[in-house]
Structure 1
């Protein structure tokens, strides 16, 4: 498995986004780290190597956050793991590269109002046809992953009313949110080709569904989640995603019937997860009935238990989920912090510290 994490660069005092990603990436190179541009100039992305277990993933993520934060600090910025900028303007300039300039020309305000950060988990599935069928099996669980990861209630200085406002902003793209059901890899390819031909996408890399066969790796990529506040929360999420994919691969191998879940049901379940996170009710896509979000998490754990046992992760994940449900996700933390702070800027400063929880002190 591997993980991509997107981060914001913010002013240490005001919490406002800073358009410095090119300079930060240059500094990171000097520190021996490879950072990537994201769509907005206030964003950077880290990519883990291929990891075989959660311990190795945690080590790499801690190192990546430490070095990315050090590169940001040398350019007068702090690294922030929130799904949306809690404060700042609606529009931000796109990064200085041909692809993102082309997106700005093609999609206008939609590209300029992006500036949102997610966590993408890749899990190895070598066969392409199997990757498409795995997506069909995993898609009903995407709202539960979103509820767990919701980490973007604050935007432009106010509470949006949603646990994951990033999801709502992201939903404006033509190929986003839960994917439709696909009978085969050919059906997937045909739809993507149509979307490119009718100028809805620049290319296959702009397929932004919440789960997809990767366009450049032999993996299934789960993209539904907000960037997680801490490394330990990212590792929990990645382990659950890996177990979900393993469970789906086994189901495909047995020829199990696919879940009978309509796209309209999934879209409503995703919207409810974006609104309520872990705090309220969620829609169970399998039954189309409202249930407490905590119950959906329990059902997810039951669904992947055999895979977690195979990985030797069951006890750790059970304990981590109990802790997460008791403490609350990133959205709950942000709202509690805002209630006990004098300003959103103060919340941002606390969130930048939380971004580096358990990381080594920044190098001089």
Structure 2
């Protein structure tokens, strides 16, 4: 199997915050206009406090990382020109009572149909798209990815503070996000036909308004020939985003290798997967993880199990050295949730959390003139809803 055919692209969602208070600021339309004038494609999200970037399709992780750096710097510059600060954080550390919904027909329909769920959003994730040959493969690959979704969440957890207080969770976004009726881990599907039947039921019942609102954490893309992995908080740094993309791409390729050998993914019980999700959201990278077979081990030990599982795919993709080196850096420095907590514990001030997030957002991103920072990106997938 040709590893180069497993191309990858990433979407990152960001919070727009007031530079002085760190509170969300409703300026996404102005920021997007500035970006458009500069040749940057920023998408709007459900709330007016969010924007999203999309990379091109890449075959090399190093190229993906380079574009992620330029996209973050360009988006941050556009935000600054409109009196806002770009934050890579999965939920706002300080929030208003409600978020103003972006004024588009689709987002108004979502707000009308789902009430406070839509108005208490401001949740920012990162979505990884990996090319697959067809929808049937996407569904079968999704079954292979289900057991690893909690681990991807633990690795990228970046939402420890909400409404000015420490939540006690590494990823409070994950807890809030699963209130949506179509969010969370998908069922185990026998085929694409089985998948389509379930989606049709959800549409007919009004559980979702369109296919873009199928918010499962792994799914066939609505518009593109990819499998889309949506479990993660937006990572604090571009290196963590690139690491996530490399791990996801290798896991997808490993699944395709096993499918080519005639293997299918073993089912994971829904209650075990829900428990593993909660454990990952609660303790993140620093705590324990629950494996599909019921074993309790550290999240870091579970990461090494993943690396062992995807070892052939990492070699085929040429990503082994990047993954090992970047993962070692993240484990030593800590992910977003760990960095937030460390910043808060120095003085007990949420302002220190916001400052840490602002620094992490642009860590490693080149400070270059806006016109040179980002070429217009080829969109990998559409903006399809809150944290879509």
Same fold (TM over 0.5): yes
Q: Give the TM-score category using the shorter length.
A: over 0.9
Q: Does 1:253 align with 2:253?
A: no
Secondary structure, aligned partner of 2:130: strand
Question: Structure 2 residue aligned with 1:316, among 317, 322, 342?
Answer: 322
* 1:36 paired to 2:18: no
How far, CA to CA, are the matches of 2:57 and 2:322 in structure 1? 21
Cα deviation, 1:172-209, whole Å, max 9, x if unaligned, reads: 00011111100100010000000000011011100101
3-state SS in 1 of match to 2:310: helix
Q: 1:342 deviation in Å?
A: 5.0
Counterparts of 1:103 and 1:327, CA distance in 2: 39
Match of 2:22 in 1: 15
Equivalent position of 1:212 in the other structure? 219
- Alpha-carbon separation, structure 2, partners of 1:132 and 1:172: 24
Query: Superposition pairs for residues 92-171 of structure 1, below 5 Å?
Result: 92-171=99-178
Aligned residue pairs: how many?
363
Give the Cα–Cα distance (whole angstroms) in 2 for the partners of residues 352 and 339 of structure 1: 17
- Return 249-258 or 53-62, whichever deviates more: 249-258
2:289: which partner in 1?
282
Equivalent position of 1:349 in the other structure: 355
Q: Which runs of 4+ in 1 moved over 2 A?
A: none
**Alpha-carbon distance, 1:260 to partner:** 3.1
CA deviation string 1:215-247 (max 9, x = no partner): 110000000000011111111110000000000
Contact 1:39–1:111 (CA under 8 A) maintained in structure 2: yes
User: Does the 8 Å contact 1:69/1:362 carry over to 2?
Assistant: no
Aligned to 2:386: none
Moved more, 354-363 or 4-13: 354-363
> Is the Cα contact below 8 Å between 1:179 and 1:263 reproduced in 2?
no
Does 2:299 match 1:293?
yes
Structure 2 length-normalised TM: 0.92
Find the residue that maps to 2:285 and give its secondary structure: coil
CA-based RMSD of the aligned residues comes to 1.1
Q: Select which of 306, 311, 321 maps to 2:312.
A: 306
Tell me which residue corresponds to 1:173: 180
Which residue is 1:329 aligned to?
335
Residue 250 of structure 2 is matched in structure 1 by 243
CA deviations 1:148-179 (Å, max 9, x no partner) are: 01000101100111100000010000011111
* Displacement after TM superposition at 1:102 (Å): 0.5
Question: Which sections of structure 1, spanning at least 5 residues, go unmatched?
Answer: none
1:321-354 superposed Cα distances (whole Å, 9 cap, x missing partner): 2222222211011000111145212320231121
Partners in 2 of 1:344 and 1:362 — Cα distance?
A: 30
1:13–1:345: 8 Å Cα contact kept in structure 2?
no
Bigger mean CA offset, 85-94 vs 236-245: 85-94
Greater length-normalized contact order (CA 8 Å, ≥ 6 residues apart): 2
Contact 1:80–1:355 at 8 Å: present in 2 too? Answer: yes
Native 8 Å contact 1:282 1:296 kept in 2: yes
- Match in the other structure for 1:265: 272
Displacement of 1:319: 2.0
The CA distance in 2 between the partners of 1:206 and 1:325, in whole Å, is 34
In 2: Cα distance, 1:282 partner to 1:126 partner: 32
Mapped contact 2:143–2:267 kept (Cα < 8 A)? no
> What secondary structure sits across from 1:88 in the alignment?
coil
TM-score, normalising length: structure 1: 0.98
Q: Distance in 2 between matches of 1:362 and 1:117?
A: 26
Change (3 A) 1:362 1:15: farther
**SS class of match (1:14):** coil
Q: CA deviation at 1:362?
A: 5.4
